[in-house]
Structure 1
Amino acid sequence: MTLLPDPWWPVAVMAFIVGVDGLLTFWPPKVIADCLDGVGLPRDWWWVLAVVKFLAAAGLIAGFWIPGVGLAAIVGLIVYFLTAAGAHLRAGYIGRDFWLNCLGMLVLNVLVLVICFLV
C-alpha cells in the first residue's frame, strides 16, 4: 500500500469528475434531479451533496502532496457511493440511474483505490 497515488492520473480524473458532479448538484440536469428525487432526498439537502463532493475532490488533489489524504478521500467516496446504493435500494429506485451512475461510480472509485493505492 502507498500513501501517495501511483499512478497519479486516475486520481486526477476522479477529482475532476467529482468536482463537476458537485457543480451539477446546484443546477442538476433532469437525470440527476430524477435520481435525487427517486431516492427521496429532500431538495433543501442537495447542497450537502455538493459540499461532500467538493471536499472529496479537494482531498484527492491535496493527496498528491500530503501522504494519506488522497487515500482517505477515495475511501470516503467509496463509502459515499455505498451509502447512495443503500438509499437506492431502500427507496426501490433501482433503474438505470442505480446501475449506471451509482454503481458505476462505486466501481470506478474502487478501481482507483486498487490501482493507485493498493497495487
Structure 2
Amino acid sequence: MTPEAFSTLAGRLGAAVKVKPVLDTIQFRVGARGFATLGWPEKGRAVVKLSLKDQAAALALSDAVRIDQSRPRNSGLTLIWLERIDEDAMAYILTAAFSEAYAKTARSRPGRGRAATLGVG
C-alpha cells in the first residue's frame, strides 16, 4: 500500500475526518482526537490508535502490524508497515481506529449535538 492509498482510505471514512500536517507526518483526526498518523515513526509506516480488542484483531490480520513497544503496554498504539499490508486489512484497521476516536469524541462532549462534537456542518 502506498501513502497516497492510506490517505485516500482515511479520508473516505467520513466528513468528520480532518487532515493535519505535523512536521513530516500527516495526522488524521476526528474532533480533537487523532486516530492515525502517516509517516511516523518514519516514511512508509503509520501508527493508529486502536482498542485492545481491535489491536488483537489487527495483529492477526497481517505480519505488517506490530504493537508500538515505545509506549506503555496496553496503550492500543499500533505500527503498520505500509508496503507489507493489503488494502482490505488497512481499511479494517482504519475503520476500527476511526470508530474508536469517533465514540470517544462524542462521549467527551455530551449534549452538544453530533455536528458540534465533530466540528462538521
TM superposition score category, shorter chain reference: 0.3 to 0.5
Report the structure, 1 or 2, having the larger helix content. Answer: 1
